[in-house]
C-alpha cells in the first residue's frame, strides 16, 4: 500500500515508514573472564582476575529519494536526494584485579583483611562516512555515492584508564562489636598532575546491644537491637576525556589567496581539574520484635558532594569553549525507613504471608557555586532548569500564571503582557517584580525534577498450593514539565494530544481549561507552571498468582515440582500524568522514550 493522504506540510507517518528508506544496526559483544585462586600460606589467599570486554558495532542508514502525491489535494512531498550514512563504533576494555585476603580467629576476636590492586584500560574507535545522490535507491554501497564536496567523513580514537589501590579491615568481638575501615587510592587518566589521584577513606561501626547481658530482661519482646554509624568519602571522575588538555582542532584559513589547512584551540584547558568527592555519614538502627517476625530499620544520612564538575561560563573575549571546573557543592540529607513482617504458617498449607514496606525522605539543595551562577539551561519549548544556590539541583524554572485573560478591559487593567496584541483567551503571566513587563526577570521556581518522597510495598501470600506476590512503588512531591506537541496544542500544525479537543478558550467557551489556540505563535505555551504537572504516582508494578500442582495428582513421574503462574507488570497506576498518557517514571521532556509496557505472562515452572 502506498500512503497518499498528506498533511498540509506534506507529511504522513506511514509514508515515512514505508518509503523513506532503512536503518540496519549490528551489535556484536564479547566478554571473557579468567580467574585464579592461590593459597599462599594458611589464612592468606591470593586472587587474580583478568577480564576482557569487546564491542564491534556498525550501522547503515539509507534515505531514499522519492515523491509522494496526495490524490485528494494534489500536495506533493518530494525527497529528491538519497543519502547513505555508515558508522563503525568499536571499543575494548581490559580489567585486571588482584586481591590478598587474610582471615584470623583467636578466641572471641575475628579479623578479616583485604588488600588489592585494580587497573582498567579502555580504548574506543569511531568512524562515520556520508555520501549522497546514488544512481537509484537500490545501490547502497558507500563508494557509489557522489564523489564531490557533499561527501563527508569523521572519526576519533580515545583511550582512558583507571588505577586503584585499596584495602579493608573488618573486626568483630563475639559478634557484638563490629568495626570496618576502608581506604581507596584512585588515579584517573581524566585528570593530570597532582590532581590525578585521590584518597577516599571510609569507616563503619556497629554495636549489637541485644547480645549484652543487660538486654536479657527485654529480649523476649525486643529480640534484636543494633546501633550503626558510618562515615565515608567517594570520588567521581565523570568528566569528558582530555578536558585538562590543550587540544587543537583542524581549521582552514586563507593565506595569500589560497586555502591553507591550519589548527586552532577550541576549548579552554583546565589543568586544575580534579576528583568530585562525596562525603556522607549515616546513623542507623536495626530492631527485631515478636520472635523476629517484625523487623525494622531506620537510617538518617547527610551527604555533601563537593567540587562538583560543572561547565561554568568564561569571558567571551577568550574565544574558547569553557571546560569543566570543580565549582559546586550539593547537600542531600534525609531519612530512610523499612519494615518487614512475616507471619509463618501454623501448619503445613496454612495461610502465611510476608509484608515489606519502605519509605524515604530526601532534601536536596545547592549550597555553594563558588560565587557564580545561577546557571539556566533549556528553552521555552523544552524544559528549563536552574542550578542556583538555595534551590534543589535542576529545579524547573519559568513563569507563574494567574489564569486566562477574559476581556480587553482585564488586559488593559493588568498592563503587563508577555506579547504584543494580547487578546482575551491568552495566558496571564504574573509580573513578579512589578515593572510592568513580562520577561526573564519574572521567572521563578515552578517545580521539582526529583522526588522528595519515594516509597514501596511488597507482599507475599501463601495458602495451601496457592501463592500471590504484589509489588507497589511510588513517588511524591515531584513534577513533570510537558514539552513538544504535548505542550504546544498543535501550534506548529503537528500531532497533539486529544486532551485539547473542545477544551480550549473561545468566546463561547470562556471557562475552558486551556488558552486560545494561536498558529505559529508560542505566546500561550511559554515555559510556565501551566505546563508543569504533578508527577506523583502510585503503581502496581508487578503481581503474580501461582499454583503448585500436587505431585500425587499427576501420578508417578520424574517431576519434582510443577507450578503454573499468571503475572502482570505495570498493571495499574494512579497519577495525574495518566490523562497525558505519560509514564511517571520518565523524566520531563518530549516523551520520545519508548513507554513501559503492560506485560501479561502465563507460564510454567518445571523442576526435574
Instruction: Give dist(CA 180, CA 41) in Å, integer.
Output: 24
Mean of pLDDT over the chain: 90
Retrieve residue 295's grid coordinates: 523487623
State phi, psi for 593 to the nearest 5 degrees.
Answer: -75, 155
Is residue 498 classed as helix, strand or coil in its secondary structure? helix
In which residue are the cell numbers 599462599 written? 40
Indicate left, alpha or beta for 589 from its phi (over 0: left) and psi (-120 to 50: alpha).
Answer: left
Predicted TM-score (pTM) of the model is 0.83
User: What is the structure's pLDDT at 519?
Assistant: 87
Confidence of residue 1 (pLDDT cuts 50, 70, 90): very low
306-325 pLDDT tens trace: 988 877 666 676 777 777 78
Q: Is the peptide bond before 60 cis (omega within 30 degrees of 0)?
A: no
Confidence of residue 608 (pLDDT cuts 50, 70, 90): confident
Confidence of residue 72 (pLDDT cuts 50, 70, 90): confident
DSSP calls for 162-178: EEEEEEEEEEEETTTEE
Q: Cα dist. 269→263, 273, 318, 322, 596 in Å?
A: 16, 9, 12, 8, 42
User: What is the structure's pLDDT at 10?
Assistant: 64
Domain ranges in the chain? 25-539+572-598
Instruction: Give dist(CA 252, CA 445) in Å, integer.
Output: 45
Is residue 106 classed as helix, strand or coil in its secondary structure? strand
- Cβ neighbors of 320 (< 8 A, separation 6 or more) are 265, 266, 267, 268, 314
**Do residues 505 and 515 lie in contact, with contact meaning Cβ atoms separated by under 8 Å?**
yes
**Do residues 15 and 69 lie in contact, with contact meaning Cβ atoms separated by under 8 Å?**
no
User: What is the structure's pLDDT at 173?
Assistant: 93
Would you report the helix, strand and coil content of the chain in percent, each value rounded to 5? 10, 55, 35
Q: Cα dist. 469→179, 345, 395, 398, 572 in Å?
A: 37, 16, 37, 43, 15
pLDDT value at 138 more than 60: yes
pLDDT value at 6 more than 70: no
User: What is the structure's pLDDT at 7?
Assistant: 61
User: What is the structure's pLDDT at 486?
Assistant: 86
- Cβ neighbors of 422 (< 8 A, separation 6 or more) are 405, 411, 523
State phi, psi for 463 to the nearest 5 degrees.
Answer: -150, 115
Confidence of residue 554 (pLDDT cuts 50, 70, 90): low
Burial class of 407 by CB neighbour count within 10 A (0 to 12, 13 to 18, 19+): exposed
**Do residues 543 and 571 lie in contact, with contact meaning Cβ atoms separated by under 8 Å?**
yes
Instruction: Give dist(CA 289, CA 287) in Å, integer.
Output: 7
187-204 pLDDT tens trace: 999 999 899 999 999 999
Retrieve residue 228's grid coordinates: 550503626
Dihedral sign, CA of 70, 71, 73, 76? Answer: positive
Provide the greatest CA pair distance for the chain: 97
Retrieve residue 381's grid coordinates: 519549548
Retrieve residue 388's grid coordinates: 542556583
502-515 pLDDT tens trace: 999 999 999 999 99
**Do residues 299 and 284 lie in contact, with contact meaning Cβ atoms separated by under 8 Å?**
yes
Nearest to 160 by CA among 272, 278, 245, 46: 245
Q: Cα dist. 409→46, 65, 134, 405 in Å?
A: 84, 55, 62, 9
State phi, psi for 43 to the nearest 5 degrees.
Answer: 75, 0
Q: Cα dist. 396→359, 450, 480, 481, 578 in Å?
A: 25, 10, 9, 8, 21
483-537 pLDDT tens trace: 988 888 888 777 788 999 999 999 999 999 999 999 889 899 999 999 999 999 9
Retrieve residue 511's grid coordinates: 471557562
Beta bridge partners of 383: none
Nearest to 455 by CA among 326, 361, 342: 361
147-158 pLDDT tens trace: 999 999 999 999
pLDDT value at 3 more than 60: no
**Do residues 200 and 236 lie in contact, with contact meaning Cβ atoms separated by under 8 Å?**
no
Amino acid at each position: 500500500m502506498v500512503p497518499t493522504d498528506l498533511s498540509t506540510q506534506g507529511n504522513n507517518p506511514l509514508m515515512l515508514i514505508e518509503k523513506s528508506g532503512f536503518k540496519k544496526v549490528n551489535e556484536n559483544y564479547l566478554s571473557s573472564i579468567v580467574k585464579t585462586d592461590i593459597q599462599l600460606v594458611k589464612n592468606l589467599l591470593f586472587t587474580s582476575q583478568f577480564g576482557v570486554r569487546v564491542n564491534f558495532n556498525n550501522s547503515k542508514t539509507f534515505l531514499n529519494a522519492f515523491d509522494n502525491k496526495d490524490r485528494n489535494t494534489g500536495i506533493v512531498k518530494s525527497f529528491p536526494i538519497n543519502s547513505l550514512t555508515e558508522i563503525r563504533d568499536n571499543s575494548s576494555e581490559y580489567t585486571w584485579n588482584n586481591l590478598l585476603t587474610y582471615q584470623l580467629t583467636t578466641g572471641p576476636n575475628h579479623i578479616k583483611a583485604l588488600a588489592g590492586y585494580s587497573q582498567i584500560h579502555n580504548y574506543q574507535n569511531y568512524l562515520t562516512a556520508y555520501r549522497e545522490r546514488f544512481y537509484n535507491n537500490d545501490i547502497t554501497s558507500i563508494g557509489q555515492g557522489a564523489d564531490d564536496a557533499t561527501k563527508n567523513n569523521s572519526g576519533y580514537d580515545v583511550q582512558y584508564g583507571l588505577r586503584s589501590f585499596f584495602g579493608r579491615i573488618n573486626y568483630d568481638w563475639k559478634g557484638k562489636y563490629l568495626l570496618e575501615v576502608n581506604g581507596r587510592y584512585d588515579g584517573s587518566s581524566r585528570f593530570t598532575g597532582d590532581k590525578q589521584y585521590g584518597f577516599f577513606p571510609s569507616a563503619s561501626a556497629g554495636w549489637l546491644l541485644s547480645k549484652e547481658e543487660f538486654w536479657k530482661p527485654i529480649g523476649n519482646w525486643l529480640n534484636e537491637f543494633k546501633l550503626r554509624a558510618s562515615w565515608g568519602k567517594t570520588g567521581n571522575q565523570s568528566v569528558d576525556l582530555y578536558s585538562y588538555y590543550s587540544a587543537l582542532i583542524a581549521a582552514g584559513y586563507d593565506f595569500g589567496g589560497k586555502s591553507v589547512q591550519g589548527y586552532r584551540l577550541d576549548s579552554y584547558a583546565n589543568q586544575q581539574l580534579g576528583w568530585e568527592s562525596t562525603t556522607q555519614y549515616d546513623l542507623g538502627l536495626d530492631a527485631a520484635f515478636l520472635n523476629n517476625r517484625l523487623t525494622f530499620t531506620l537510617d538518617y544520612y547527610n551527604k555533601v558532594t563537593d567540587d562538583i564538575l560543572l561547565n561554568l561560563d568564561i569571558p567571551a573575549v577568550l574565544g574558547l569553549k569553557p571546560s569543566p571546573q570543580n565549582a559546586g557543592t550539593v547537600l542531600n540529607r534525609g531519612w530512610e525507613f523499612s519494615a518487614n513482617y512475616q507471619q509463618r504458617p501454623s501448619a503445613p498449607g496454612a495461610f502465611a504471608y510476608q509484608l515489606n514496606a519502605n519509605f524515604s525522605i530526601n532534601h536536596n539543595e545547592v549550597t555553594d557555586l563558588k560565587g557564580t551562577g545561577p546557571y539556566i539551561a533549556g528553552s521555552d519549548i523544552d524544559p528549563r532548569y536552574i542550578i542556583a544556590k538555595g534551590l534543589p539541583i535542576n529545579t524547573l524554572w519559568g513563569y507563574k500564571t494567574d489564569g486566562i485573560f477574559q476581556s480587553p478591559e482585564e488586559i488593559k487593567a493588568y498592563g503587563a503582557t508577555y506579547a504584543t496584541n494580547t487578546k482575551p483567551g491568552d495566558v496571564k503571566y504574573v509580573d513578579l517584580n512589578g515593572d510592568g513587563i513580562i520577561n526573564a526577570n519574572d521567572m521563578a521556581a515552578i517545580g521539582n525534577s526529583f522526588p522528595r518522597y519515594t516509597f514501596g510495598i511488597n507482599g507475599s501470600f501463601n495458602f495451601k498450593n496457592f501463592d500471590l506476590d504484589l509489588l507497589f512503588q511510588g513517588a511524591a512531591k515531584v513534577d513533570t514539565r510537558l514539552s513538544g506537541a504535548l505542550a504546544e496544542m498543535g501550534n506548529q500544525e503537528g500531532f497533539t494530544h486529544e486532551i485539547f479537543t473542545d477544551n480550549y478558550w473561545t468566546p463561547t467557551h470562556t471557562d475552558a481549561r486551556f488558552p486560545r489556540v494561536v498558529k505559529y505563535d508560542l505566546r500561550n505555551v511559554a515555559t510556565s507552571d501551566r505546563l508543569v504537572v504533578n508527577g506523583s504516582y502510585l503503581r502496581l508494578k508487578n503481581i503474580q498468582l501461582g499454583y503448585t500442582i500436587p505431585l500425587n495428582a499427576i501420578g508417578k513421574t520424574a517431576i519434582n515440582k510443577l507450578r503454573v503462574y499468571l503475572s502482570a507488570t505495570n498493571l495499574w497506576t494512579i497519577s495525574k500524568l495518566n490523562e497525558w498518557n505519560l509514564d511517571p517514571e520518565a523524566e520531563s521532556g518530549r516523551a520520545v522514550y519508548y513507554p513501559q509496557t503492560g506485560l501479561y505472562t502465563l507460564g510454567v515452572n518445571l523442576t526435574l
